[in-house]
Amino acid sequence: MEIYVDGDACPVKQEVMKVAERHKLKVYLVANEWLRLGMHPLAESVVVSEGADAADDWIVDHLQSNDIVITNDIPLADRCLKKGGHVLGAKGKPFDTDNIGMAMAMRELKSDLREMGTIKEGGPAFSKQDRSNFLNALEAMIQRNKKKSG
Tell me the pLDDT tens digit for each residue of 13-72. Answer: 999 999 999 999 999 999 988 766 666 789 898 999 877 789 999 999 999 999 999 999
**Could you tell me how many residues make up the chain?**
150
Model confidence, pTM: 0.87
CATH 3.40.50 holds for 3-149? yes
Q: Which pLDDT belongs to residue 150?
A: 66
The contacts of residue 92 (CB under 8 Å, 6+ apart) are 130, 132, 133, 134, 135, 136, 137, 138
Residue spans of the domains in the chain: they are 3-149
d(CA 66, CA 85): 5
